[in-house]
Chain A
């Protein structure tokens, strides 16, 4: 009896598996030994360098490309989110007005009940609203503003006070304001407060067109004094510098509107349900009411947001292409400088595929490292972007000031890199979206491998005889 059969049966299929296993292990070893041996040197060059010149080029291309990409995407994304959320927080998602009597909905309390039952759970709030331009007077200053009279919920704990609804801009001053008194009290945007030098507790006059327009006297102006209860911040410069919020009863009395409202304002729980809700509303409301969605109200803006998305996509592609060109060029450079090596390696028995793999992996690895570090760096910069912009501003103004004061004796006017009134927001809105980053990183890594494949392919096709003969002479 053969020795190996004692104690354990050894079937042919076991043996096959063993051979297969062994071959797999050998291949893995081979990969580790030969490929890493070549690649380490070709990526790293001699001695203690981390990267050779060409590997640096390829790495830097991908690194810069991906980090810029992350920053651009984060800023774009931040802008869009900020714009949307500031508007959605502030404005009703759907407004209803009467077309028969413009600016006047009289039986609005009935309609609110009907709309609430129709929309059911979908509605966050349905309320009456008056919104109209006005003049504000503070001491000797006049400015034009937008008054919004809205329904505030009553404070259950404190008598004769309103609290703030759920979706409401942040009240920034006084910091912990939970409620404000009924009557002629108002909340104003914090930018407006800055412009007119208004403090909490100050008195302001609001001047509005009162009642119906008549041929005899035109529009009779109405004027009332309000006490400023606090400042709000919506994050949207337009609103924060122009809007004054008062309670609906105060607005009704200011405008002499009796118990009518100008419009019924609907806020939905889910903004994406606007279209569906519009259809429901068409079913309950008669034809002499106009129903408008927030998108119609801000048509230009939403169109611009859509365009921004298109432009963003184009930019993404440009960045990726730029990074890929870097990978192609640098891999081609590596290959050109290693042409003789390739000939030698092939003449001693390295296959076309192995050459192809080695040089593709070289591009792939610099792409991989470049993407990982580039994305990380991009995220880091995005988070510190405001600081960086402020830093730039500081340096520019510092140098300019110094130059003017000491060298030229001129007047230096401060440079603002992100002027608020131009850029809509009071801070740099940055939002890093992981949903973008994951596929983009994977795409960048994958494509840098593909990009390296192009020159690596030609390296695989090099004939050793040509190279050896060419360098013979």
Chain B
């Protein structure tokens, strides 16, 4: 087993007038290849903040994030934070965040095109993944023509189609009904297994957290092992 992601003493705080609030406090986390990890926690615990840092759309105050041996700070110093995202990350948000001007398959393709894939092969691969998430009939629909559950499955396809080192998901089922949640969980689990994906998912949903191999809780910016 190889270490894909490692954080050391990760800290992030926000100043609110006079008071400084530690949102992330000394977090040490290690993900191995093929890990499926969940983080649960109350609202405001700092889960999204942690995920944003791991996805390099937010920078920590101190501490390090290392992916496959190269640190986030290195990327930042080279002025190539986008390269970090491009090379390592697949993001799934609570709102699907699909590009409204592009069809389902084009949204998935975008993930490959920005990584230099040719248009035809990008299209083939995207259709393949969309079939896996059960959207064979919907590939040419625009996001506005898709249901919430369908949109979220397109978002999953977009996050995994380029086979990233880590898939980060922030409350991916937060906007779904129970039926769609079930479907989503099965799909994510399936993709994770067959592709040996490393997945870190933040969720309120006990059902989703349950399928993870390793479970954490977050409280006041600290990461705790889940009680058994």
Binding site for B on A (CB under 8 A): 26, 29-30, 33-34, 37, 41-42, 45-46, 340-341, 344-352, 354, 463-465, 468, 471-472
Contact = CB atoms under 8 A, between A and B. Distances in A.
Given A347-B85, A465-B58, A468-B57, A29 B118 contact: yes
A42 to B, nearest CB: 7
Given A348-B110, A472-B94, A33 B52 contact: no
B115 A349 contact: yes
Interface stretch (B3-11, B97-105, B128-136, B186-194): B97-105
B172 interface: no
Given A349-B114, A464-B57, A465-B57, A45 B101 contact: yes
Contact of B99 (A33, A344, A349, A468): A344
B118 A350 contact: no
A472 B90 CA distance: 18
7 contacts: A34-B116, A37-B110, A345-B114, A348-B91, A348-B114, A351-B82, A471-B95
Nearest to B52: A465
A44 to B, nearest CB: 9
A252 B60 CA distance: 103
Contacts of A347: 55, 57, 85, 91, 97
A346 B82 contact: yes
A33 B82 contact: no
Interface string B70-110: 00000000001011011101110111011111100010011
Interface in B110-164: 110-111, 113-119, 122, 142, 158
Contact of A26 (B55, B93, B116): B116
Q: Which of the four size classes fits the interface of chain B?
A: 35 or more
Given A33-B113, A37-B110, A348-B158, A42 B101 contact: yes
Contacts of A33: 113, 116-119, 122
Nearest to B103: A46
Interface of B: 52, 55, 57-58, 80, 82-83, 85-87, 89-91, 93-95, 97-102, 106, 109-111, 113-119, 122, 142, 158
A41 B55 CA distance: 27
Nearest to A37: B113
Contacts of B109: 37
A352 B113 contact: no
Contacts of A349: 82-83, 85-87, 89, 114-115
Contacts of B116: 26, 29-30, 33-34
B95 A348 contact: no
B82 A341 contact: no
B150 to A, nearest CB: 18
Nearest to A42: B101
Contacts of B93: 468
Contacts of B102: 41
Which of B57, B85, B106 gathers the greatest number of chain A CB atoms within 10 Å? Answer: B57
Nearest to B101: A41
A336 to B, nearest CB: 14
Contacts of A472: 94-95
- The 6 tightest CB contacts between A and B, nearest first, are A349-B86, A351-B82, A349-B85, A34-B113, A465-B57, A464-B57
A30 B122 CA distance: 12
Nearest to B96: A344
Nearest to B117: A33
A45 B85 CA distance: 28
Contacts of B94: 472
A205 B118 CA distance: 89
Given A33-B122, A34-B114, A46 B101 contact: yes
Contacts of A346: 57, 82, 85
Given A346-B82, A349-B86, A341 B114 contact: no
Contacts of B95: 471-472
Nearest to A349: B86
A33 B52 CA distance: 28
B42 to A, nearest CB: 17
A341 B102 CA distance: 11
Nearest to B58: A465
A30 B110 CA distance: 12
Nearest to B94: A472
A351 B56 CA distance: 12
Given A351-B82, A464-B57, A46 B142 contact: yes
Given A46-B142, A341-B101, A348 B57 contact: no
A31 B76 CA distance: 24
A468 B113 contact: no
Nearest to B119: A33
Contacts of A354: 114
A344 B97 contact: yes
Contacts of B57: 346-347, 463-465, 468
Contacts of A42: 101
B119 to A, nearest CB: 5
A345 B109 CA distance: 12
Contacts of B91: 347-348
Contacts of A345: 99, 110, 114
B123 to A, nearest CB: 11
Nearest to B98: A344
B97 A468 contact: yes
A445 B57 CA distance: 36
B57 to A, nearest CB: 5
A351 B89 CA distance: 14
Nearest to A351: B82
Contacts of A34: 113-114, 116
Given A33-B117, A341-B101, 6 more contacts: A33-B119, A34-B116, A41-B101, A346-B57, A465-B52, A468-B97
Contacts of B113: 30, 33-34, 37
